[in-house]
Amino acid sequence: MKILIVDDSKLARMGVIKSLKEIEPSAELFQAANGLEAVAIFKAENPRVVFLDLTMPVMDGYEALQQIIAIDADAQVIVISADIQNEAKQRVLKAGARNMYPKPINEEKMLQIFQQDLLI
C-alpha cells in the first residue's frame, strides 16, 4: 500500500512514519515537504492514504487538499495539524478530508485512524 506523508517539518514526517511502522510495516512511503510536491506525488503514485499538514510554504495543506480531491474525490486524506481550532477542522472536512487530528500522532492514534477513518 502506498502512503504519502506531507509536512514541511522533517521531524513531523518522521513521527508519522514511526507511528505507521507496526501498523503498516510493508507500506511504500512517499514524502512531500509542501502542497505542490504533494499534489505532484499524488498524481504520479495515486497513494491509498495521504497524511497532510496544513501550514506549509509554497502551497499549504488547504490548497493541496482541494487539488487532491479534485483529482480523486475518493482520496483518503487525514489532516494532521497543530491548528486544533474547530473552524479548521470543519473547513478540511468540508473540503473532503476523512478526519483531522492534532499533532503529534502516536501509534495508538494511528491505529484508531486505520480502524475508524480509512477504508483499507
Q: Is 95 within 8 Å of 70 (Cβ atoms)?
A: no
Q: Which of 3, 5, 8, 50 binds Mg ion (CB under 5 A)?
A: 8
Segment interacting with Mg ion, rule: CB under 5 A, options 16-24, 51-59, 70-78, 95-103: 51-59
Site for Mg ion in 58-77 (CB under 5 A): none
C-alpha cell at 63: 490548497
**Is 49 or 64 the residue whose CB approaches Mg ion more closely?**
64
> Rounded to the nearest 5°, which phi and psi values hold at 97?
-70, 150
The cell for 19 is 507511528
φ, ψ (nearest 5 deg) of residue 83: -80, 105
Nearest residue to 60 via CA among 45, 41, 81: 81
Tell me: does residue 53 bind Mg ion (CB under 5 A).
yes
Query: Judged by CB under 5 A, which stretch of 17-25, 34-42, 45-53, 110-118 contacts Mg ion?
Result: 45-53
Q: Where on the chain is the footprint of Mg ion (CB under 5 A)? A: 8, 53, 55-56
